[in-house]
Every structure is written in C-alpha cells, then in structure tokens.
C-alpha cells in the first residue's frame, strides 16, 4: 500500500514538472498589396493651358497711340474698342480729300455744260467737229478724275476709321506690346488676342524624348494646384526643330475634355505614359535572397500566416522591383523584415508601407 502511494506521488510530481511550450509570438509586419501595372510612365513635365488660336493685331495706319482701352486678362466681345490713335493726320487727309472732290465736281459740271453746248452747236451746223471732240474728251477725263476723287474720299474715311483698333471676334487679351503715347507703324504688333473657346495644353519636351515617343502615348493633364482637375490628351502638333538654347520642342496637346478649372494660363502638370504588357511592381524591400533564389513572403488573409514563394524578376533599381511570375495582383506581401520570418508564422498586418 505504501509503495502504491509513493508511486502516485512521484507521477504527480513528474507531471507538474513538464511545461507547455510558449505560443509562437505574433509578429507585426508592414505589407503591401500587389497591383498590376499596365501603363509605363515616361516622364512628367510642367506646362500651361493656352488657346489654340491666337492673333497678334495692330493698327492698319501709322500714328501715335492716344488711348489703350482694355487691360491684359480682359474678355472682350466682337467689335470691342481696344485702342485708338491720334486722328489728326487722318482727319486732315479726309478734309483734303473732301476739298479735292468738291473742286473736281465743279470741273465736271463745267465739262458737262461745255460738252452739251458744243453738241448743240454741231447739231445746228455752226460748230466744228474738232471742238466737239475736245469737249467730249474733257468730259471723260473729268469723269475719271471725279471717280478717282470719290475713291480717295472713301479711302480717307477708311483711314480715319482705322485709328480705332477693334476686335472682330470674342477674345481674351493676353498681352500688350505697345503703350499709350508710343508711335507705331502700320501693321506693327500691338496686342495679342486669344480665342477662349478651344483650349489646349502646351509643354516643352526634350528633343531626345520626342524621337522615342510610342504611337500609343497618352498624356494625363492635371492642374498643379488641384490634381483632381485632370483630363487625358493626345499630341496635335510638335515643333519640327528643337530650340537651340534648351534643346526642347514645343508640343501642343488636344485634350479629351476641358474641365472648368482649366482657364487660360492655368499651370498644369503633364504625365506621359504608354500601354505595356501587365507587370507587377513592388518595393525592393519585399525580396529575400536564399540559396541563390529570390523569394517573397506572402500573407494568407484567412490564417494570418506567412509563407515564402519564389518569384521571377524583370528588373530592379534602388527602390523598386518588377516581377513577372510568382505572385498575383490582389495578394498581400510582407514589405519589411522578411529575413526574420518563418514558414507558417502568424503576423499582424499594419498599414501599407510606402512604395
């Protein structure tokens, strides 16, 4: 009986001395969701919104600018008065043309009367044919002079009208190249007008990039102050030659639509991208090199555990790596601390790490 009791005590003490192994600690990790990329960024450039159609206008007659009636940025309607010249010279020309017309009209009246008189004398048989011919020639000559004087008067009136510079279409004033008091020549550029109805994005691209642009290149145009205001665009035209100083070529882009926030002069950021075969781009920190193989740690969302998986690379740089196989879009992989993970280890997922 004593032996049985002693054996029971020893067994109880042995059972108490055995301890359960501690549970595997849950490791917090940073992770990132795998996303497939089907666009390749070719660069980002600063640009602005400009009118497709601009015109540089000036006076049709020379003179001194007497007034400038609108400022830069003003929106003007068709027929609006932009500026005026001192009309003194044109007024004097008009008065001279009016005087010439009056003088020649008087000469024409006399020539008409003389031609009628010579015709009457010739009809009665007392006038000479030579005198009649001279009178009729004078009448025709005076008629030509009268027509010329009328044309000169009309031209003088037009010249007086030309001292007023008016717009022939709705426009926005984008630049002034002359000020009040300045003497300008006929046709000299005075003001630049932009038609606001059709707008486009304008950027300067490096000459080397222009020659390499793929046919399917897409431009994303976004306002610099509010990137949510954006649209896509395609190339309308590119300058055929690069500027010697900057080695860039100006490109004008036709936008798919024109958001209200795209006003003339709005600074925009233009991103170039091209369609590519879908690929996976991840932070470089997801990689682990083991026995000459490259792998990543994939998180099982159900069990919250990790497992290694071999992957194939396309390229890598100092911050990112491009994969073609081994992982699918939508899966979540560990992005930091991969060298301290074990197969089946439970993890606690933190927010996505920055790419």
46 or 35: which leads in pLDDT:
46
**Percentage of the chain modeled with pLDDT above 70:** 87
Span 42-52+197-278 CATH architecture: Beta Barrel (2.40)
Element (H, E) at 251: strand 248-255
| Helix (H/G/I), strand (E/B), else coil: 250 | strand
**Inter-CA distances, 31 with 34, 132, 170, 299, 300, Å:** 10, 114, 57, 9, 12
pLDDT, average across residues 41-58: 87
Q: Report whether 62 contacts 176 (CB < 8 A).
A: no
Span 27-37+279-352 CATH architecture: Beta Barrel (2.40)
pLDDT digits (tens, 9 = 90+) for 255-285: 999 998 898 889 999 988 766 566 677 788 8
The 10 Å CB-count burial string (b at 16+, else e) for 293-313 is ebbbbbbeeeeebbbbeebee
Pairing of strands 218-223, 248-255: unpaired
Beta bridge partners of 64: 183
189 or 4: which leads in pLDDT:
189
Q: Where are the domains of the chain?
A: 27-37+279-352, 42-52+197-278, 61-85+163-194, 88-161
Pairing of strands 288-290, 320-325: unpaired
Of 37-46, 93-102, 191-200, 282-291, the poorest mean pLDDT is in 37-46
64: pLDDT strictly greater than 50: yes
pLDDT digits (tens, 9 = 90+) for 66-123: 999 999 989 999 999 999 999 999 999 999 999 999 999 999 999 999 989 988 888 8
| Separation between Cα atoms, residue 67 and residue 172, nearest integer Å | 19
Q: What is the pLDDT of residue 355?
A: 47
**Percentage of the chain modeled with pLDDT above 90:** 44
Token look-up 């790419």 returns 355
Of 263-272, 291-300, 311-320, the poorest mean pLDDT is in 311-320
User: Which of 274, 256, 261 has its CA nearest to residue 200?
Assistant: 256
| Alpha-carbon torsion, ordered 251, 254, 258, 263, to 10 deg | 30
290: pLDDT strictly greater than 60: yes
352: pLDDT strictly greater than 90: no
**Inter-CA distances, 186 with 190, 205, 268, Å:** 10, 37, 37
Q: Whole-number mean pLDDT of the chain?
A: 84
CATH 1.10.287 matches 88-161: yes
CATH 3.40.50.920 matches 61-85+163-194: no
């Amino acid at each position: 009986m004593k032996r049985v009791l002693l054996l029971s005590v020893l067994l109880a003490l042995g059972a108490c001395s055995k301890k359960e192994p501690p549970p595997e600690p849950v490791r917090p990790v940073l992770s990132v969701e795998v996303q497939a990329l089907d666009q390749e960024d070719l660069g980002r450039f600063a640009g602005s919104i400009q009118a497709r159609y601009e015109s540089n206008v000036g006076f049709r007659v020379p003179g001194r600018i007497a007034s400038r009636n609108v400022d830069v940025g003003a929106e003007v309607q068709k027929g609006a008065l932009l500026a005026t010249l001192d009309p003194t010279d044109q007024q004097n020309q008009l008065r001279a043309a009016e005087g010439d017309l009056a003088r020649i009209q008087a000469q024409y009246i006399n020539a008409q009367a003389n031609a009628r008189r010579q015709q009457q004398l010739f009809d009665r048989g007392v006038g000479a044919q030579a005198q009649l011919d001279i009178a009729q020639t004078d009448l025709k000559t005076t008629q030509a002079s009268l027509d010329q004087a009328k044309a000169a008067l009309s031209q003088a009136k037009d010249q007086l009208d030309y001292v007023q510079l008016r717009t022939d279409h709705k426009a926005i004033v984008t630049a002034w190249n002359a000020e009040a008091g300045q003497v300008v020549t006929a046709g000299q550029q005075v003001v630049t007008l932009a038609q606001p109805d059709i707008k486009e994005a304008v950027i300067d691209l490096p000459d080397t990039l222009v020659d390499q642009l793929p046919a399917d290149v897409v431009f994303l145009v976004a306002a610099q102050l509010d990137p949510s205001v954006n649209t896509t665009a395609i190339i309308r035209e590119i300058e055929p030659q690069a500027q010697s100083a900057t080695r860039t070529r100006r490109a004008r882009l036709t936008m798919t639509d024109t958001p209200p926030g795209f006003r003339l002069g709005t600074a925009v950021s233009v991103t170039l991208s091209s369609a590519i075969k879908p690929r996976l781009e991840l932070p470089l920190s997801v990689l682990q090199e083991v026995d000459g193989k490259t792998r990543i740690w994939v998180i099982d969302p159900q069990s919250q555990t990790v497992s290694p998986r071999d992957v194939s690379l396309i390229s890598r740089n100092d911050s990112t790596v491009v994969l073609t196989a081994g992982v699918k879009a939508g899966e979540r992989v560990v992005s930091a601390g991969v060298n301290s993970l074990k197969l089946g280890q439970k993890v606690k997922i933190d927010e996505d790490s920055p790419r």
